[in-house]
Every structure is written in C-alpha cells, then in structure tokens.
Amino acid sequence: MLTRRAFLRGAIAGAASAFAGAAYAFGYEPLMEPRVARYRIAPRVWPKGFALEIAALSDLHACEPWMSIERIDAIVDRMNALRPDVIVLLGDYVAGLHHFATPIPAPQWARALSRLRAPLGVHAILGNHDMWDDETAQHRGRYETAARAALEDNGIPVYENAAVRLTGGARPFWLAGLADQFAIPAGRRKWNGLDDLPGTLAEVTTDDPVILLAHEPDVFPRVPERVALTLCGHTHGGQVRIFGWAPIVPSLYGNRYVHGHIVEDERHLIVSGGLGCTALPVRFGAPPEVLHIRVEAPAA
C-alpha cells in the first residue's frame, strides 16, 4: 500500500528529476562543445584507390547568447584541426530563435566562417531559415538572400541547383548542391521548394563520383544510385531525442532520416545533428556536432 510519505517522496523525486532534466536541456546541452561525429563509408560506386575526407557543419543558427561569434570561432578552429580535404556547409546559418535570442547579422557570422580552410575549399548550400527569415527573398521567391550574399562576399561559393567538379589527389569528383526544398511556406505544413534534383544532376557531365548536398533529407528517396553520398542537416537530430527516438522531426518521413548514417538500396545518406536550435533553445539527447567523414571504395 502506498503511504502518504512514500507518495510525497516519489513526487519530490519526480519533480527534482524533471527540474534537473529541464536545466540540462536548456542550460547545458545546447551550449556544449560540439562533438565530432566520425563516419567511414564505402559506397559501391566509389572508385578504387581514392579516399576523400570531408568535414561538414549544419544548422549554425547564429544568435546571442546560444551561438555567439566566439562560439562560431571555436567551431571553426575545431573543424580546421580535422585537416579535411574539403569542407561543406549544409545550410541554416541565420537564427532560428526569435523570442529567446538576438540574431547575429549575416556579414558577421559569414566573416567568422571565412576562416575555414581545406585544400579543396569550402562550399555551401542554404537552408529553409535562410529563406524564411529573409523577407525580401520571400517576396521575390528566388535565390537572392542575405545569407548567400554574405557567404559569397566572404569567398564561400553557394550552390543552388548547381554542381562543381573538384580534383582530390589523382581523382576528380563532383559536389552537387540542391536549393532548399522547403524554401517558401505555403500554408500549414506545406512548402514550395526551389529544388531541382534532375536539373542539378544534369550538370554532372563526367562519370566521376558525386556527393550531393541537400539541407533537408526528404529528397533522399529520389536520389539515384549514381550519387555516392548525400549529406543533409535540418533535423537537428530531432533536437530532443529519448532513447534514440525523436517526438518531433521536421521531416515528412518522421524518424526515418532523423540522424546519422542511413543506407537504403546501397545508397548512402548522412544527416548531421547540427549545431544550433530552432523554436526553443533546447537540446536533449541530441548534442551539437560537426561531421568528419572518410569516403573510400569498398574492400575487395
């Protein structure tokens, strides 16, 4: 039989646990030093004798106090220390918090990102918030965003339905960047995308391997096997994840593409947990991260 004293003890313990969990989710995990999530993958279509190391970040959401310029500087230093062959930025640089933070102007966060260094360069795509938070771009329904201008003004090329051929060591490869799939809100849980996957891949004119950059992972079911690896962000790993499951995921596929390395029909996808927050400055079970990926041919 449950006594009054036992009930009170349980209630107090439950309240203390809830308070501790909330303090962790709001005050600690969002401000953690980002971990380096390391992946080693071997797509079937990757050429033998060619290894490529990629560093990636997503969902910066630059704002005070959660993602300050000082914190971005530390993230840049951490990524440079990985010494990758190429660095890719997967979108959502602008603040996703409007009631709990002060946005950092695009020229400032872009200047901080301009210190990133890799032999094959730094390459970027945009995310939904880079469009949503730009009233001028929303009105035009086109690509001329403040985020794109800031990145390009600081020497970082931005790809929206475009591809570029790079040479890593003795073997060239393609980076293909997709425009945002949820670029223009069109009602409750509806968006008009600016993405053009067939048009983007049509720019690939050789049989060299292809790496696709797409902010949202929802495109993945349509990605052909010709693409060796798709890299995405957007989900924040769910931002709150309990025993690996996220109750809210900003994807039409729910938890299917919430985080990590996913293989479907021998096609490879990696979804970053990202760095910042949207809606609320909270992370629980989904710590901030940057990616370090080694791509190589399958073992014989």
Is residue 263 a part of any domain in this protein?
Answer: yes
**Least confidently predicted of 66-75, 91-100, 146-155, 289-298:** 91-100
The predicted structure's pLDDT at residue 175:
98
Is residue 273 a part of any domain in this protein?
Answer: yes
Q: Does residue 159 sit in the same domain as residue 211?
A: yes
Q: Does residue 189 sit in the same domain as residue 223?
A: yes
d(CA 213, CA 197): 11
Q: How many domains in the chain? A: 2
**Least confidently predicted of 83-92, 100-109, 161-170:** 161-170
Q: Which domain holds residue 7?
A: 1-31
pLDDT digit string, tens, across residues 229-262: 999 999 999 999 999 999 999 999 999 999 999 9
Rg (CA), the chain: 20
Q: Does residue 231 sit in the same domain as residue 275?
A: yes
Whether the pLDDT of residue 266 is over 60: the answer is yes
The predicted structure's pLDDT at residue 25:
57
Q: Does residue 221 sit in the same domain as residue 90?
A: yes
Q: Does residue 49 sit in the same domain as residue 79?
A: yes
Q: Does residue 13 sit in the same domain as residue 129?
A: no
The predicted structure's pLDDT at residue 100:
85
**Cα angle vertex 293, ends 104, 213, to 5°?**
60
pLDDT digit string, tens, across residues 158-189: 999 999 999 866 799 999 999 999 998 887 77
Q: Does residue 219 sit in the same domain as residue 143?
A: yes
**Which residues, 6 or more positions from 96, have their beta carbon under 8 angstroms from its beta carbon?**
59, 61, 63, 129, 276, 277, 278, 279
Residue 223: how many other CB atoms lie within 10 Å:
23
Note if the pTM is more than 0.95: no
What CA dihedral angle connects 72, 191, 97 and 142, to 10 degrees?
60
The predicted structure's pLDDT at residue 8:
38
Q: Does residue 50 sit in the same domain as residue 190?
A: yes
Residue type, 113: L
Is residue 73 a part of any domain in this protein?
Answer: yes
Q: Does residue 13 sit in the same domain as residue 118?
A: no
Is residue 199 a part of any domain in this protein?
Answer: yes
CATH number of the domain residue 268 falls in: 3.60.21.10
Is residue 300 a part of any domain in this protein?
Answer: no
Q: Does residue 19 sit in the same domain as residue 91?
A: no
Q: Does residue 18 sit in the same domain as residue 82?
A: no
